[in-house]
Chain A
């Protein structure tokens, strides 16, 4: 499985460990470890198959192939691939979950109106 290619894509490789707040305005691919928080409000986060995230995540889109422990808030969509292991609540407009993905937490689908109202 390879990282999605994008013109504006930052990558955190397998051997990288980051602790703290991570924010940005480009898409991010994480195949290493991140602990803290991730905020990519208008962009997408992809957690690669080796990625291990212990953080709250706020992004436009979130794709998980590895492990993610923390709440996910996505303004657009969340995709849990078959190897995903997610522990935390998911709040998004759309979600797709592949057969085999593991989720421990709440799924809350919010419409655009609800998002705008901050519910």
Chain B
């Protein structure tokens, strides 16, 4: 899978045009989410749920879950992946991210701890060296029967598809807010081209359905939802 995804990345780099020089305002869009709607039957549970939100810190999401007496954990893995000290070199001398160090500092939870993991669009924007290790860790921290929601771009999305943070508005409604990075330092250890563009995270790859199934092969079931905005929503059950 790595070679296919790297080809996509090359395609993106060559066709992506110049880097944006000016930061755009963080525009907000709303969208319906079938995957979130499917998860919503869990929210009325009288037993408090443990929910892990892997997107940017979202006051809306924290409010949404705490109002329903659930416990929410917030961890922004994309920002965490830009820590400079994670940079290392592989056997060929290429700069990569040290996945062991990353996992030693992030996603440190007991096994089978979460009922729900909100992954959002993390796999599409996370550095290649971290995708599989992170998905492996997420499998282990999910309870058996626990669910993970992730969004994947289709190949029609284009290389400059902006990275969004997701705020839950209602049971199946999301507000999407474009992530605008504030500092050059957040470009990431492997350089601006590899991890981030001038003012936001860069789409790293496009998974096809088979890649997605492979990525979640350890999970018990997988369900796809096609959306109109060049995004596939994927709900997997451990």
Is B66 located at the chain interface by the 8 A CB criterion? yes
Is A19 located at the chain interface by the 8 A CB criterion? no
Interface of B is mostly: mixed
Find chain A residues with CB under 8 A from B87 CB.
none
Partner among A104, A106, A108 whose Cβ is within 8 Å of the Cβ of B76: A104
Is A9 located at the chain interface by the 8 A CB criterion? no
Q: Which one, B67-75, B195-203, B219-227, is touching chain A?
A: B67-75
Is A63 located at the chain interface by the 8 A CB criterion? no
In chain A, positions 69-119 with a C-beta closer than 8 Å to chain B are: 95-99, 101-109
B75 near A104 with CB under 8 A, answer yes
Find chain B residues with CB under 8 A from A104 CB.
74-76, 80
User: What's the least CB distance linking B65 to chain A, in Å?
Assistant: 8
Q: Which residue of B lies closest to A84 (CB)?
A: B57
Is B79 located at the chain interface by the 8 A CB criterion? yes
Is B59 located at the chain interface by the 8 A CB criterion? yes
Find chain B residues with CB under 8 A from A109 CB.
66, 69
In chain B, positions 40-73 with a C-beta closer than 8 Å to chain A are: 56-57, 59, 62, 65-66, 69, 71-73
User: What's the least CB distance linking A92 to chain B, in Å?
Assistant: 10
Find chain A residues with CB under 8 A from B59 CB.
96-99, 101
A105 near B69 with CB under 8 A, answer no
Find chain A residues with CB under 8 A from B73 CB.
105-107
The contact size tier of chain A is: 10 to 19
In chain B, positions 80-94 with a C-beta closer than 8 Å to chain A are: 80
Given contacts A102-B76, A102-B79, A104-B76, contact A97 B71 (CB under 8 A): no
B79 near A107 with CB under 8 A, answer no
B66 near A107 with CB under 8 A, answer yes
**Bound-state Cα–Cα, A96 to B66, Å:** 11
User: What's the least CB distance linking A49 to chain B, in Å?
Assistant: 15
**Bound-state Cα–Cα, A24 to B183, Å:** 38
Find chain A residues with CB under 8 A from B79 CB.
102
A106 near B57 with CB under 8 A, answer no
**Bound-state Cα–Cα, A109 to B68, Å:** 10
Instruction: Report the 9 A-B pairs with minimum CB-CB distance, sorted nearest first.
Output: A97-B59, A109-B66, A103-B57, A106-B73, A103-B74, A107-B72, A104-B75, A107-B62, A102-B57
Chain A residues proximal to chain B, CB less than 8 Å? 95-99, 101-109
10 contacts between A and B (CB under 8 A): A102-B56, A103-B74, A104-B74, A105-B74, A105-B75, A106-B72, A106-B73, A106-B74, A107-B71, A107-B73
* Given A103-B74, A106-B74, A107-B65, 8 additional A-B pairs, CB 8 A: A97-B62, A99-B59, A101-B57, A102-B79, A105-B73, A106-B72, A107-B62, A107-B66
